[in-house]
Amino acid sequence: MSAPLLAGKVVVISGVGPGLGRGLAIQCAKAGADVVLAARSESRLAGVAKEVEDLGRRAVTVPTDITDPAACERLADTVRDTFGRADGLVNNAFAPPPLTDLTTVDLDAVRAGFETNVLAALRLTRLFVPVLEEARGSVVMINSAVLRHSRRTFGAYKMAKAALLAMTQTLSTELGPRGVRVNTIAPGYIWADNLKWYFEHLAKKRGVPAQQVYDESAATTDLRRLPEPDEVADAVVFMLSPLARAVTGQCLDVNSGEWHH
Ligand SMILES: NC(=O)c1ccc[n+]([C@@H]2O[C@H](COP(=O)([O-])OP(=O)(O)OC[C@H]3O[C@@H](n4cnc5c(N)ncnc54)[C@H](OP(=O)(O)O)[C@@H]3O)[C@@H](O)[C@H]2O)c1
């Protein structure tokens, strides 16, 4: 039997929340990696760490606000002291930007979104470059299908994720010669708690069953179903793994075929 895709590797995940963040931790662990979990809520980190340990992998939790440079340095130091290596960094942390037209949106709110969603991801990546270079590792930025459409009120979100895409491409060019790959994954819908709550809310407002809202959304995808967190996370596992050893500077859409790119 061949070794799991991430056997012997250490993957650092920023923004471990209940949705994709948790899915990333679990799928990386199932693929054989030890994981470092970073977000602000200690209790959530502990819960996800327990799930990882139950799978037989090591999980180290480091409560971190990625907008705080000192906290990010502590995170990088902890990884170096604990494992002496890092093979993957997944920038998943996300602060929802304002959902308002760009013609009227509060610019300070847009700036605050950029701080977490773009600049903090860049700061974290820069701190991990030396260890990633030693391991010939890779970085994955979590993007969004917002890249693919121009709907009103999504402007600030799209600006942040478009910047993340641009950053991915340029970092790939800068770090490729040093053996570090940088890619991005663009999910559309992710069928997890946030979306379930939102569909319930829409269904109540319209007086229809939540399943109808799901079916209408799923009907806009080729596969007629909404991807689950583990399915998006598996695309990240692929990007982190040796199977993607010649893939860098790319954006992989994981959206059941809702948007073609
Ligand atoms: N949900 C969707 O349908 C969807 C669709 C397309 C793309 N995406 C992308 O997928 C990624 C994950 O989204 P998700 O909704 O599934 O979220 P999630 O992984 O469940 O949680 C993200 C976590 O980021 C953490 N975070 C926010 N600010 C932070 C900070 N300053 N420092 C450290 N951690 C911070 C928050 O945890 P703490 O509060 O504990 O810090 C939050 O729980 C995001 O990049 C998002 O843009 C999501």
pLDDT at 17 over 80: yes
Q: Which atom of ligand 1 is nearest to the CA of 67?
A: 31
Q: Is the dihedral of CA 138, 172, 245, 94 positive or negative?
A: positive
Query: What is the distance between the alpha carbons of residues 128 and 183, in angstroms, rounded to a whole number?
Result: 15
- At 52-68, the pLDDT tens digits run 999 999 999 999 999 99
- 126 close to 119: Cβ distance less than 8 angstroms: no
214 carries an active-site annotation:
no
Query: What is the distance between the alpha carbons of residues 72 and 78, in angstroms, rounded to a whole number?
Result: 10
pLDDT at 14 over 90: yes
Active-site entry in 157, 189, 198, 214: 157
- Whole-number pLDDT of residue 105: 98
Check if 116 has its Cβ closer than 6 Å to any atom of ligand 1.
yes
The residue among 187, 245, 232 whose CA lies nearest residue 23 is: 232
- Whole-number pLDDT of residue 64: 98
- Whole-number pLDDT of residue 2: 83
For ligand 1, the distance from its centroid to the CA atom of residue 92, given in whole angstroms, is 6
**What is the CATH number that goes with domain 10-189+229-254?**
3.40.50.720
pLDDT at 1 over 80: no
For ligand 1, the distance from its centroid to the CA atom of residue 182, given in whole angstroms, is 19
- 62 close to 13: Cβ distance less than 8 angstroms: no
Torsion of CA 108, 110, 116, 122, to 10 degrees: -110
Percent of the chain clearing pLDDT 90 (strictly above)? 98
- At 65-113, the pLDDT tens digits run 999 999 999 999 999 999 999 999 999 999 999 999 999 999 999 999 9
Q: From 12, 13, 16, 20, give the residue whose CB has the most ligand 1 atoms within 8 Å, as the site to mutate.
A: 20
For ligand 1, the distance from its centroid to the CA atom of residue 142, given in whole angstroms, is 9
For ligand 1, the distance from its centroid to the CA atom of residue 186, given in whole angstroms, is 13
Domain ranges of the chain: 10-189+229-254, 191-226
Percent of the chain clearing pLDDT 70 (strictly above)? 100
- At 33-49, the pLDDT tens digits run 999 999 999 999 999 99
**Average pLDDT score, the chain:** 98
- At 183-225, the pLDDT tens digits run 999 999 999 999 999 999 999 999 999 999 999 999 999 999 9
- Whole-number pLDDT of residue 238: 98
pTM over 0.85, yes/no: yes
pLDDT at 253 over 80: yes
Check if 142 has its Cβ closer than 6 Å to any atom of ligand 1.
yes
Give me the residues paired with residue 138 across strands. Answer: 88, 181
- At 236-249, the pLDDT tens digits run 999 999 999 999 99
Q: Which atom of ligand 1 is nearest to the CA of 91?
A: 45
Count of CB atoms within 10 A of residue 65's CB? 15
